[in-house]
Structure 1
């Protein structure tokens, strides 16, 4: 559900913004550091919309350039670069890795191509990395695991291939991981079960296969998991149906089977979306009447399975009159 995803992202942004100081004028000490990195970054882009018109090589006050925020404590150091909806093409320059004070990089919804530069791994202070809705290719850099302060990582809706690096499971502060709608292959790394504060995980519309790691069902803060439209097989780990934090559980259009626990609705009080339908899955058994206890549910997708018996009348009570 896009609204739920947007709400979770906005809440996280509001939390992170409290750590980012407002911009201030640059000092001359930054002219041959962050300023040069920004100009090299611009050089690799095509900017037909003029989003970067203020990025003038003759101006030393780069902290006033569009999308740039500098530190209060270190006035010549860039801490945030936000150019979402900029209609910019081209590629992400490796020089971005020279902005070593950067905490937030937001390039959402442009037309950027090429690969994600490995130099991002130099950004040890980086907390927020948003590269979604571009045309990026190549693989997710394994050395992003060096960005140990990452809280938010989104590369969804690109053309990325390869697997999900298992090293991402070492990002102990990560709360959001979105890699959906790419061409990602292989298995879901069991190491993702180590992301103890993870709240939101999007793996949908890739080419993932194998079983669902049981460790994911032990993530006590997980509210959103969307892994539909893959080739996942086996059963959903039973503990998923006991995760009281869950608001969105999506495994539609895979190769999964199994039965829903009779008391599933009693253990998911905040559930808003349950998606297990679509082509490929083969869930069976009765539809549990306990689902009527999930009073916040807005979408219940169970089609194209092998459920037996009647739809419990209690479940019908969830529909608005």
Structure 2
């Protein structure tokens, strides 16, 4: 059986050290991006631990070192900023360098238009904006290119206009919640297998598409004006 030489152990230690420094450096960069994102928020007192000097690691295994960070196997994977009284703007550009797989700002006080550049966050698997005061039309192309997203939860806002057709481009979409808004027009012909929807209490009209006809009537309550 071959034995390791001191030089090989030294090489292993150097490689491990390099990996640690790289991970720490990444987390420092991520923390600085989060500080920039925080600047676009109003009433962010519940994020008081987001401050300088930034932490070396955002995650201690699956435990976040900063409020609202989501962790998996020691890595930062998303934000869960729910029920914090937050308002202001979703500054997408400040989030571009983050490995963001999930973004939730549900149950806050955000208002104004849908963040139309959300599709710049190409790694997103889930987006939760429900129970805020977002309003206006969502651009048709708002979700273009988001090939990996599975969940889009926009219920209980004040969105108007038609359901954006770019939602039809999402092959992995399994959960779409648009209830309690003011969407109008016909429901697009969704085709995704295993798709669950809630379109209740909007201003939609016309027939329910065949691909969704197997769903419970509770998904379409108050559908017609």
TM-score class, shorter-chain normalisation, is: 0.7 to 0.9
Q: Partner of 1:69 in structure 2?
A: 70
5+ long unaligned stretches in structure 2: 1-21, 59-64
Measured after TM superposition, the shift of residue 175 of structure 1 is 1.4
CA distance in 2, matches of 1:61, 1:158: 37
What's 1:57 paired with?
Answer: 52
- Which segments of 5 or more consecutive residues in structure 1 lack a partner in the other structure? 1-24, 232-253, 255-321
8 Å CA contact 1:201–1:224 kept in 2: the answer is no
Structure 1 residues 210, 84: CA separation in 2 closer, same or farther (over 3 Å shift)?
A: same
CA contact (8 A) 1:96 1:119 kept: no
Structure possessing the higher relative contact order (Cα contacts under 8 Å, 6 or more residues apart): 2
- Tell me how far 1:158 sits from its aligned partner: 0.6
Residues 123 and 148, structure 2, Cα contact 8 Å, conserved in 1: yes
1:37–1:95: 8 Å Cα contact kept in structure 2? Answer: no
**Structure 2 residue aligned with 1:241:** none
Label 1:62 to 1:132 Cα distance change in 2 as closer, same or farther (>3 A): farther
Corresponding position: 1:197 with 2:205:
no
Corresponding position of 2:137 = 139
Instruction: After superposition, give the CA deviation of every residue in 1:13-33 in whole Å (9 maximum; x if it has no partner).
Output: xxxxxxxxxxxx96124434x
TM-score (norm. length: structure 1): 0.55
Q: Could you list the per-position Cα deviations for residues 206-254 of structure 1 after superposition, in whole angstroms to 9, with x for gaps in the alignment?
A: 111222222322x6xx5675112232xxxxxxxxxxxxxxxxxxxxxx6
RMSD over equivalenced CA pairs, Å = 2.5
Separation in 2, partners of 1:96, 1:230: 37
Residues 104 and 128 of structure 2 are in contact (CA less than 8 Å); yes or no, is this contact kept in structure 1?
Answer: yes
Show the counterpart of 1:117: 115
Q: Deviation digits for residues 10-61 of structure 1, max 9, x if unmatched?
A: xxxxxxxxxxxxxxx96124434x333312221111226x210111132243
Counterparts of 2:128 and 2:117, CA distance in 1: 16
SS of residue paired to 2:136? coil
Q: What CA distance in whole angstroms lies between the structure 2 residues aligned with 1:82 and 1:203?
A: 24
**Is this contact kept in 1: 2:202–2:222, CA < 8 A?**
yes
Q: Which residue of 2 aligns with 1:95?
A: 93
What TM-score, normalized by structure 2, do the two folds share?
0.77
**8 A contact 1:99–1:123 mirrored in 2:** no
Other structure's SS at 1:184 match: strand
Paired residue for 2:24, among 24, 27, 42? 27
* Conservation of the 8 A alpha-carbon contact between 1:106 and 1:129: yes
Counterparts of 1:139 and 1:71, CA distance in 2:
35
1:86 matched to 2:70? The reply is no
